[in-house]
Every structure is written in structure tokens, then in C-alpha cells.
Amino acid sequence: MSETRTDSAQTAAAGIDYRRRQRLSRLAQKLVIFLCSVVLAFYVLAPISWLVSSAFQTEAEIVSVPPHWIPENPTVKNFTAIFGATEDEEITYETRSGVDPAAGGFIPSTAKDLPKAMWNSILVATLVVILNLLVGVPAAYAIAKIRYWGRNGSVYFILTTRVIPDIALVVPFFLVIRKLGLLDTISSLVITYLAVTVPFTVFILMQYFEGLPDELDKAARVDGCSRFQALIRVFLPLSMPSIVAVVLFTFLTSWNEFLLALMFTQTSASQTLPILLAAFTSDFTVSFSFLNAAGVLAIVPPVIVAIIFERYIVSGLTAGAVKG
Amino acid sequence: MSEQKSLLLGRRDFLRTSAAASALSLAAPARLAFAQDAPINMQTWSAAVDTVQSHINAFEKETGLVVSYGNSPWAQYREGMVAKFVGGAPLDMMWVSDSWLPEWAEAGWISPVDEFESLMKYNDEAEQFCTDSMTYKGRQYGLTYYTDFMAFLYDEEKLTAAGFDAPPESWEELVQQSLVMKEKGISEYPMMLAMAQESWLIEFMASLVYSHGGRFTDENGDAIMHEDEAGAVEALQWVVDAVNKHGVISPACVETGELSGLKAFASGNHAFAMVAKYRLRMLNDPEQSQVAGNVKQAMMPKGPGGEHATVGWMRFHGMATQAAQDQQRAENTARLIEWFGGKANGEYKFQKLLFLDIGAGFGVKPLFDDPDVQAAYDAYGDVEIIQKQQALAKKKDVVTPWFGEWNETNGAAWQSAILGNSDVRAALKKSAAKWDELKASY
């Protein structure tokens, strides 16, 4: 006790307040973290803020210097052009959007197709997710838990399909789709997206299933479960993080996919959102304002999906990264 | 055990039935499609979709023929079409850029249409450079649907503020006016020139070269771009001096694409710009431009030995070879090409609609006399200047099967000279050498 007092006295005598120093150090650390967080948040949020802000600006306001982060003359005409169109009206010389002053000369005439394209994208992405799980979960379970001849070979084969670039698959896919008579249909996208996403799904789930103890499988079988029941009742509930990762991956891949959709779709009946968004930049005109309004709508579904599965995302993304 | 077996079989039956049902449902649309009469397959990029559709609907009513219309984004259109050609997708009529003509014709994907008298009769009223641009190895491959040229535009307000009554007549005069503007603080870089490596670059370079009285190639298609008197040397030297010596063009021009440059001009950053003529409408639209009402067109400035020439380009309606090989399909396709590229019910309806709707230029001279067209032009431009400049437009003299490959080297050579990394003559010699090498290898 007396020694401690002596130390304090010596420290005080030396004029060094270590506690204060420690407090200042912690404060500085927090300040640095806070500033970094602010910079990071700005870096991430600024483009999205500009996307949303400019969606409500006129084209003239968008190109103003300095830029207006808060619109001075906000307008919703981009959204009116998207949602205000009547769907079934026959397009004639009189009804074409080019002569409709309300549409504005720089709003693409295909603006009214955007809800349809969104629906196509949602439909394709949802079907791909469902079919991925239907195919991928049993396949991954079989590879992970059933020992059979050629197991390693099948794993390597599945992995091999992942290293082939999409561009190399375009023409073969095109020939198959054309032979099937599926050009310009939603089905063509679902089939080809499955070919791209199923290997990843199987790989991720297989890694996760392998991490689960074999004893679980054996216990389920002893209790009378068939293989299928063991998968459904035991393994699936334990694999939610990896299932969510797969759902997110396949949904976002399908949602954003461009190359195959470009090749296989031709009309608004099957065109997905990325194709329509790209088509808004024609060789004649482009409206940043309208493009950004369409961009705002395009990010809504993925954001909703991310919010729903948010609590699983981090654990799901690392699923299969290491063997447990 | 037997229970387990029945469950196993049931599951397999279920899977088998599901697979069969899926296959049937996927194949059903195809069967329906094959059952219908074959339509004329028309493929375009996604421009003026409503206008195209309205004209198709009128065609179907007029002829009783059915058109299957598909479109895809402009930026990926060529790649998509190549995949469709290779994959044997049903195609009859499609939009073609003059830049792709040699490639598509050499590959046998599109066929000449000059055996159809109903189409050739429109050549008399078309701009010569349009017909030239659709012609490859003496055969004409389509009818024009849109054409335009590189225009010289200026901001009248800035010009007046600098104390000038008239826009520059020559490139040298442009430098003098720009220096005054810089001195008065009107604009840091008065001239907007977009020299980024993109599809527009050749049009910018060709305008500069033609207005300096030069060419890239001679009548035989041999490179002359590196020659002092007949080539591109003066034009490139002017750009290099404008950037590095006078500072009237931003060094960032090598990173500036046409669209970025256009938006910069629309925001009031520059006094002069070289852009496609159809941009005039957008630049004078208060909804889209900060300098609306001030943007005027002048004749392209000329170099010491040049004239007010510029480059013109065009897109056309072409016929797929698979359509040309079947007499009935070819005739139907030719009717559709005429409906779009020629006259529909006695008038150049589609070209007029395209102009009125989105300001796209037309390649047929009689439309300049159309009162509707004149009224539309008067709202944002000077029809007399437009007509005068269009008459001086020339086709690109470098459109060959090896154009894409050469263009990479040529663009890099120009950029290198602009950035001061190489001498102007050395850059153009490199470009010419690449041209000769490619020409010999094709």
C-alpha cells in the first residue's frame, strides 16, 4: 500500500497523469473510429443519396454547377412516366409517346415498360431461387453425407463449371434455347441462370453440410428417418445461414444478370430490368434524371430482400469458408 | 421395409412427373410459336421504340403482314446481333450502323438490296454520303433510316460577352476567341472536345481532319493519314497546340466521352463544342440544359487548306441473308424496308416522325422542304445552316473490316500526341503503319 502511494507520488512528482493519458487515448481512438465511420458512411451513402435526389430533379438541374443535393424544383414526372402509362392501349401515330408533351421529350418511350420489366426480374429471380434450393439442397446433402463412387469426381465437375466464363457459354446456350424455341421467354432465363447458379449453391451447401456432424445423420436414421426426412427435419433447420446466403446470391445474381438476358430477350414480354435500364441510354438521347429514377426502383427489391435476411447475412456469407 | 420402398418409388414418380411437367410447360410457348404464320423478324436497338411500334402497326394494317419486333440496348447491340447471327436466330430486317457494314457483309450475315427496284428508286432523293455509306464493294445494303453529322455549336451569350459578333470561321480564329474568353474569365476551357476512346472518337477525329482538308486514306484505301499535305497532321497538331500551348481545350479531353462532354457544355462550362447535330435540340431545351436558348450552330471551322467539311454517318435498314435466300421472305422484308426507309403512303413518314419525336436527322433531301420539319427546326436551330452543313458531310473513309482493330491503335496514337507523350508525326506514322499491316493481312 505504501509502495503504491510511493509510486503515485513518484508519478505525480514526474508530472505524468497516466489515467488522463489513457482517457485521452481512448477518446482519440473513438474519435478516429467515428471519423472513419463518417467517411465510410459518406462514401457508401453519397452515391445512393445522389441517386435518390437526382431522381426528383429536372435534367437541367442535374447538370447545374455546383450540384443540388436537395432539389430546388422537385419533380415526380419521371415516376409519373413510369407508373402513369396505360398498358393495353394500341400504339398508333397519334398515341405514341413521342408526341405526348406530358411525357417530356427526353423520357424514353419505353418508360412504361419498367414495371413489367421489374415483374419479369422478380419472377425470374424468385423461380431461380426456388429451383436452386430444390436442386441444390438434395445434391449438396448427397455429396456431403453419402459415400458413393465418383463423389470426388462429381465435386470437381461441379467446380469446373464455375470457372467457365459466361461469355464462353453464350453461343452454346443460345443454340440450345433456340432449338427449344424459348427465345424471348422467361423460361430461357430461368434455365440458363440455373446452369450458372446451381454449382455455387451446391458448393456452398455441401461445405456447410460437411461441417455438421455425421452423428446427427446417423441418429436421425436410427430414429427412423429416411435420407429425405433427415435432410428436411435435421439438416435444413441447422443450415439456415448458408441457405440464406444461397438465396441472396442466387436472387442478386438473377436480378443483376445482363449478358444472357441481352441475348435471349427481345421484347418487353421477357426483358428484365438490367436490359431495360441499359436501353434507356439509346444512341439518340439519355436522361440522367430518368435513369436515376429507374435506378431507385431497381434497388428497392434487393434492399428489401437484404433487410429481411439481414440477421443471417454475415454468418451465411462465411458459410463454407472453413471446415468446422 | 415395404413402406419405405413405396415412399421411395413415390418420390421418384413425383420427380419424374415434375420433370415431365416442367419440360412440357417450357416447350409449350415454342410449340405455339411454331404453329403461327412466320412473321417478319425485325431487330433494332432501343431507340424511339414507340415511334417504331406505331409505324409497324400501320404497316401491318396496310399490308396484312405480321412483324415480330425486338429491340436491345444500343451499347450492346452489335455484340448481341453477332451472337444471333452465329446462333441462327430468325432475322429478316435489322438496323445496321455504317461502321459494321464491311464486317457483316463479309461474314455473309446481311445481303445487298440493290436488286429491288422498289428500294433503289429512293437513292435520287437521298444524300450522296448516305448512299455511299450503305455501299460496300459496289453493292448497296439498305435504305437509310437516320443520318446525322458532326456539328460545330457555340454559346452565343459567351461569344457576345467576349466581344465577338460572329462565331469563328477557322480553327485559328477559334483559338483567338478562346484566348480572349480565358482572359476575361468567361470559360477556363472554351472549347469542348471529347477525345476518349469510345465509339464516337472516330467521328470527332474525322471532322477535324476533313475540315483541315485532309483524309485518312486515299481513293484506293491506302493510308495517307501521316502525309503532311493530304493527311491528318495539321488537324492533330491543332488539337495538341490547343491543349498544351494555348490551354483552350482541357487535357482531360482524352478522358471525356461524347455524353460527358455534352453534359458539360449543357451546364455552361464551355463556349464552343463539337457534337452531333441532333444534340442541338436537347441543348436548347430548358428542361435539359442550363444554356438553353443560347446554343447556335455555325459552319465547321476550317483549317488553312481546308473547307467547312465535316463527317456524316448513318444507320440503315438492312436485310438478313437468311431472308434474302427465300423469295417470299425477301419480298416481304423489302416491303418493310421500303415502309421504313422509303415512303409510306407517299411520304417519308418514318424519317419525319423520328425527326419530330427525338430530333434525329434524316438522309432524304425533300424533308428539308416539309413545313412541319422547318417549323420544328426553327424552334431550336437554323434549318439553312443545317442543310448547308449536311451538304458538306462526307462518309468516314476508314470503315473497313479491320476498322475496329485499327481504331484502337489510331485512338491511342492521337491520345498519346495530345498528352505530349509522342510527336504528332510519329503518332500518325504509327497509325498509318497499323493500317497498312491490317490491310495487307485481310
ipTM value, please give it.
0.70
CB spacing of A90 vs B43 below 8 angstroms: no
CB spacing of B33 vs A181 below 8 angstroms: yes
The three grid cell numbers given for residue B304, joined into one nine-digit string: 488553312
Lowest mean pLDDT, pick from A8-17, A240-249, A307-316, B114-123: A8-17
- The alpha-carbon gap from B266 to the nearest alpha carbon of chain A, in Å, equals 7
Query: How far, in whole angstroms, is CA B122 from its chain's centroid?
Result: 21
3-state secondary structure of A288: helix
Judge whether A244 lies within some domain.
yes
Q: Which residue of A has its CA nearest to B86?
A: A171
* DSSP class per residue in B376-404: HHHTTS-HHHHHHHHHTEE--TT-STTHH
Q: Do residue A153 and residue A264 come from a single domain?
A: yes
Residue B144 pLDDT: 92
CATH T-level assignment (fold) for domain B40-146+313-394: D-Maltodextrin-Binding Protein; domain 2 (3.40.190)
Q: Which residue of A has its CA nearest to B199?
A: A283
CA pair distance B166, B156, nearest whole angstrom: 9
Q: Which residue of B has its CA nearest to A179?
A: B30
Residue A95 pLDDT: 77
Split at pLDDT 50, 70, 90, the class of A319 is low
Which residue is it, cell 405455339? B32
Residue (of A265, A297, A223, A75) closest to B46 by Cα position: A265
Residue A314 pLDDT: 64
The answer to whether residues B254 and B419 touch, using CB atoms and an 8 Å cutoff, is: yes
Higher pLDDT, A315 or A115: A115
Judge whether A53 lies within some domain.
no
Which of A174, A187, A191 comes nearest B83 by C-beta? Answer: A174
Residue B6 pLDDT: 40
Give the homologous superfamily in CATH for domain B149-311: Periplasmic binding protein-like II (3.40.190.10)
3-state secondary structure of A54: helix
> How many Cβ atoms are within 10 Å of B107's Cβ, its own excluded?
14
Which of A58, A91, A280 comes nearest B287 by C-beta? Answer: A58
CB spacing of B356 vs A98 below 8 angstroms: yes
Judge whether A66 lies within some domain.
no
Q: Which residues of chain B have pLDDT under 70?
A: 1-37
Q: Do residue A162 and residue A270 come from a single domain?
A: yes
Q: Do residue A23 and residue A148 come from a single domain?
A: no
Mutate to test the interface with A, among B26, B85, B192, B267 (most CBs of A within 10 A): B26
Judge whether A88 lies within some domain.
no
The three grid cell numbers given for residue B187, joined into one nine-digit string: 470559360
Angle between helix A240-256 and A310-317 (nearest 10): 100
What is chain A's mean pLDDT, rounded?
84
> pTM of the predicted model, to two decimals?
0.76
* DSSP class per residue in B336-363: HHHHHHS-BTTB-HHHHHHHHHH----S
Residue B2 pLDDT: 39
CB spacing of B288 vs A262 below 8 angstroms: no
Judge whether A212 lies within some domain.
yes
Residue (of B250, B242, B257, B236) closest to B422 by Cα position: B236
CA pair distance A89, A53, nearest whole angstrom: 32
Residue A98 pLDDT: 64
Q: Which residue of A has its CA nearest to B283?
A: A60
For position A234, which CATH number holds?
A: 1.10.3720.10
Q: Which residue of B has its CA nearest to A57?
A: B287
How confident is the model over A41-69, as a mean pLDDT?
89
CA pair distance A169, A199, nearest whole angstrom: 15
Residues in chain B with CB shorter than 8 Å from the CB of A65 are 267-269
Residues in chain B with CB shorter than 8 Å from the CB of A170 are 83
> How many Cβ atoms are within 10 Å of B12's Cβ, its own excluded?
10
Residue A160 pLDDT: 86
CA pair distance B30, B229, nearest whole angstrom: 61
Lowest mean pLDDT, pick from A48-62, A84-98, B283-297, B307-321: A84-98
3-state secondary structure of A252: helix
The answer to whether residues A209 and A144 touch, using CB atoms and an 8 Å cutoff, is: yes
Judge whether A323 lies within some domain.
no
Residue A5 pLDDT > 60, yes or no? Answer: no
Residues in chain A with CB shorter than 8 Å from the CB of B358 are 98, 105, 284-285
CA pair distance A52, A74, nearest whole angstrom: 11
Judge whether A86 lies within some domain.
no
* DSSP class per residue in B58-127: HHHHHH---EEEEEE-GGGHHHHHHHHHHHT---SEEEEEGGGHHHHHHTTSEE--TT-HHHHGGGGGB-
Residues in chain A with CB shorter than 8 Å from the CB of B57 are 90-92
Query: Chains A and B: how many Cβ contacts under 8 Å?
Result: 160
Which residue is it, cell 435432410? A231
Phi, psi of A285 (to 5 degrees): -135, 155
Domain extent at residue A11: 2-48
Q: Which residue of B has its CA nearest to A167?
A: B83
| H or E stretch at A316 | helix A310-317
Residues in chain B with CB shorter than 8 Å from the CB of A226 are 4, 7-8
Domain boundaries, chain B: 40-146+313-394, 149-311
Number of domains present in the structure of chain A: 2
